[in-house]
Chains A and B, each alone.
Chain A
């Protein structure tokens, strides 16, 4: 029965604190490690880290496009088989070894430090572009304090005869997003220069993040009381508002209409798995860090289950709210489309108003089709289809900045709803950023490359400053394309690899038996068969499958991006363009470097160790004096011990 595969791991006991030492630490409450003020702070921070923008603008789209209510089945199954075990693993290992991600992997085995460095790099890259989205949210928030909202109507051209052409051909919300906010260029090669207003918003976002993360969890622990709870309040307000609007129920029906055939499509399961994985912010290192500040006997198993359930329920709740508003918008658009057509018909045939209404519209059209089909053709009536309106542009930035903003302009008291909506997005994003910053700062401290006497404020300040400097690339005209690039490649493949390595490391290098004993020591009972099976077999398998799927689809197809090009033929539809060749180098840096760091560091350490072993034999001196003579070519080497 015992599937007892364990790789040799000498010296483990020296690197990790023993159970007795942990008890002592617990009683004394001494030590440099920060602590949570109370359990609520810890839970709110973790919930905030997990619940992010993806819950609001990725999950509802996946739900609707993969068979509505039927999507719940793969989502919930994979939540249980993949999300909860991984979460429990990260919590438990952080709580047991009481270190950030690099410290934890270094304790398990010094060759695994690469996993921690990879986590840090991914946290850094993801944090860079994620905060840019927050900067955009802030820009919209700043612009919400005026009536009428700037995206509710097109600006007028110079001779005041009509609207600006680009806006006329698309829509006011599109124009405001693509021109006034991003000032986007038609292709990614075209930089377009820095947009100063975005730079200002970026600066605001990073300084605000710094003030919240200034002293690590001491400050973020206070901030999460607001940033983690406010989104739920706003979602509820929007739910009540949404349900009172016309057409909201049709949106919710559209969302949940089950199509069980979708369950046979493997893409559905893979998308569900990917969504669960990314939604839990696993493999960033932030969760390990947060968990390490807990007391040793904290019930991490219970925490993992509670947070997973909250995350899942939040996704579903947000989906309901979003789709009620989308249903309202689709109904408004449909009504407008229909009224436009009816007006055209009335004008052409000079019929009195009220002759054609929504109810007899179809009948009239049929009558017209039989009597004067030619005239009908010439009129070029628009097709008004509710289903089309309901499935328009409903994920990612398109949902928040185009579809939802348009819906808001149709509500009474629009500035109020706009302010509320963007505050909610801001809080969702900021609480995720806390975890990201934690995932960069703590490993940085563990690496010992910067002077140890630097206060935490300096570390967080440095990370924020460097990230802000590099994030300036997203403030260019082509910034949105760069962001989509980062979103697609920096955060996807490396995370899967890191998560897989984490599970392998804990199960087979640290040893599942030792891990079980640790958990028994911490929470009082050994993890049951469900945990054993998922940690050792099921979850790594799922992660591996998702990784292979992503890898193969990325490699096999030509990489393209969608661009806003006013000169293109299909304008205002977005145009698919292919990346220039040098982008492939960037993609390799984004995806490949964090992934390759894992074996590279192990290899580096191996080479160094064999070199020093050879030298030791050569000189014959005793180890201590020998180590002090080794020249430090690279500061980093000190940290790899």
Chain B
């Protein structure tokens, strides 16, 4: 009687270990807590393992929409100092039957974000060997930012061109009026074709263009 009771008590964990160790439906998990958190790293102990098993149970519940998954359904073995171990998931209806790999993979992929956050880790530091991480969706812009900057620059250039061309045209007009003899003197500085009569300092007098060669003005 006592032997039977003892067997009953010790058999499940033994069986469970066998289920975990030999199974093909298990996943290896690696945690790099020190890399992720540096000085704020927490110690990996039984409580943390408990949290892990419960998050996995949560993931299975969400994925299968069955509320029967419990922490006892998650079996863990091959625990190492690296902080890596293997886990398998047993079916809530039959403790000897394992959930197939694909289903576990689906469950983990869909809830990776929640599992990561529970441990303050990321896809890089909480690794499920064999399950590729789902990468964040790329940011889609309505208008590419580069087009906006391009538009600003081209707009500024267009304004510059128009302003400069108009100033040339208005200068030509003013010069034509002067050449017709409407005024003998202006500020004394004529700018055309890049020539700046800026040599007033140190030179005597102002160059009076009434006496200049008229060709200069028409040669723009």
Contacts and interface: CB of A to CB of B under 8 A. Distances in A.
A453 interface: yes
A160 B135 contact: yes
A145 interface: yes
Given A160-B137, A161-B132, A347 B149 contact: no
Interface in B155-187: 157-158, 160-161, 164-165, 168
Contacts of B161: 207, 210-211, 214
Given A162-B132, A208-B157, A155 B83 contact: no
Contact of B153 (A208, A453, A455): A208
Given A29-B197, A34-B193, A211-B160, A141 B137 contact: no
Nearest to A161: B132
B220 A141 contact: no
Nearest to B81: A352
B149 A145 contact: yes
Closest 5 CB pairs of A and B: A34-B194, A142-B146, A218-B194, A350-B80, A353-B34
B220 A351 contact: no
B219 interface: yes
A203 B150 CA distance: 11
A353 B194 contact: no
23 contacts: A28-B207, A30-B207, A31-B195, A34-B194, A35-B195, A141-B149, A142-B147, A143-B146, A201-B150, A204-B150, A204-B157, A207-B154, A207-B158, A211-B161, A211-B164, A215-B164, A218-B194, A347-B30, A347-B84, A354-B34, A455-B168, A457-B164, A457-B168
B1 interface: no
Contacts of B148: 145
Given A29-B207, A204-B154, A34 B195 contact: yes
Contacts of A156: 135, 137-138
A468 to B, nearest CB: 13
B130 interface: no
Contacts of A352: 81-83
Most buried by A among B30, B32, B149: B149
Nearest to A209: B157
B4 interface: no
Which of B145, B157, B216 has the largest number of chain A CB atoms within 10 A?
B157
Interface in A105-130: none
Interface string A140-161: 0111011000000001100011
B165 A346 contact: no
B33 A353 contact: yes
Given A32-B193, A457-B165, A162 B157 contact: no
Given A210-B161, A351-B81, A215 B168 contact: yes
A207 to B, nearest CB: 5
A139 interface: yes
A214 B164 contact: yes
A204 B135 CA distance: 36
Contacts of A197: 146
A29 B201 CA distance: 13
A249 interface: no
B110 interface: no
Interface of B: 30, 32-35, 80-84, 132, 134-135, 137-138, 145-150, 153-154, 157-158, 160-161, 164-165, 168, 191, 193-199, 203, 207, 212, 216, 218-220
B164 A347 contact: no
B214 to A, nearest CB: 13
Nearest to A203: B154
A326 interface: no
B193 A347 contact: no
Given A32-B195, A218-B194, 5 more contacts: A30-B207, A30-B212, A146-B145, A208-B153, A353-B35
A494 interface: no
Nearest to B167: A215
Interface string A350-372: 11111000000000000000000
A211 to B, nearest CB: 4
B79 to A, nearest CB: 10
A207 B157 contact: yes
A429 B122 CA distance: 43
Nearest to A197: B146
B207 A139 contact: no
Nearest to A156: B135
B83 to A, nearest CB: 7
A161 B154 CA distance: 39
Interface in A430-464: 452-453, 455-457
Contacts of B35: 343, 353
A200 interface: yes
Contacts of A217: 194
B194 A351 contact: no
Contacts of B194: 34-35, 215-218, 456
Contacts of B30: 347
Contacts of B83: 352-353
A156 to B, nearest CB: 5
A335 interface: no
Contact of A350 (B81, B137, B196): B81
A538 to B, nearest CB: 37
Contacts of A457: 164-165, 168
Nearest to A456: B193
A353 B157 contact: no
A549 B145 CA distance: 48
A33 B219 CA distance: 12
A414 to B, nearest CB: 14
A257 interface: no
Given A214-B164, A353-B32, A353-B82, A145 B207 contact: no
Nearest to B30: A347
A453 B219 contact: yes
Contacts of A347: 30, 82, 84
A372 B165 CA distance: 79
Contacts of A455: 168, 220
A70 B159 CA distance: 50
A553 interface: no
A351 B32 CA distance: 11
A219 interface: yes
A78 B33 CA distance: 58
Contacts of A32: 193, 195, 216, 219
A37 interface: yes
A526 to B, nearest CB: 27
B82 A350 contact: yes
A33 B164 contact: no
Nearest to A36: B196
A216 B164 CA distance: 12
A453 B83 CA distance: 84
A211 B149 contact: no
Contacts of A162: 132, 135
Contacts of A452: 219
